Amino acid sequence: MKFIGNQIYVRFLEENDAEALLQLNNRNRDFFQAYSPKRQEDYYTYEKQLKLIQEGREKYTRDQAYSFGIFLNETNELIGRVDLTEILRGGLQSCFIGYFLDQNFNGKGIMTEAVKLVVDYGFQELRLHRIEAGVMPHNIGSIRVLEKAGFEKEGIARKNVKINDKWEDHQVLAIINEEV
């Protein structure tokens, strides 16, 4: 399954994407680390990336999470990732969205396009009611991505995620599917 935008397309990550995902993470290691929980050294190995993709596929089959690669239309290069995680059913019908993009492609509207494609999938195919994101308040670029994709600010989650050994506040943003 592939969802095509103007500059990029997104599709579910597959085992044969492990090497490209490893290269993406290694190329952007310092950049991603500023916004991510601390990674163990084995995270930066082919075996770990393959295992993460395999675990993601298992979660997909159980309707718990969905992991998408972001690929350039022109070259098919993997340049990022978007995940819908912690799918809750029943009376909630919600999940969290998280993402990262190669720093060389920031500021070009690519992540906004990818988030919109994945939100459409979450609302139309998965029939989710709510998708939530948490962003460190100083990460203005990421907040802009979400707002351009239709997310609205809801408040601050204090000391919510441990980033580089420090508990960081996160701006909570969400988008609601009024049709569900």
Give whole-number Cα distances, 80 to 32, 38, 76, 117, in Å.
Answer: 11, 19, 12, 14
The mean predicted confidence, pLDDT, of the chain is 95
The span from the CA of 43 to the CA of 120, in Å, is 30
In the predicted structure, residue 122 carries a pLDDT above the cut 90: yes
Could you report the per-residue pLDDT of 9-21, keeping only the tens digit for each?
999 999 999 999 9
Per CATH, which fold does 2-128 belong to? Answer: Aminopeptidase (3.40.630)
Which residue ranges make up each domain of the chain?
2-128
> What's residue 164's pLDDT?
80
Q: What is the pTM of this model?
A: 0.93
Mean pLDDT for 115-132 is 98
In the predicted structure, residue 62 carries a pLDDT above the cut 90: yes
Let me know: does 143 contact 180? Beta carbons within 8 Å.
Answer: no
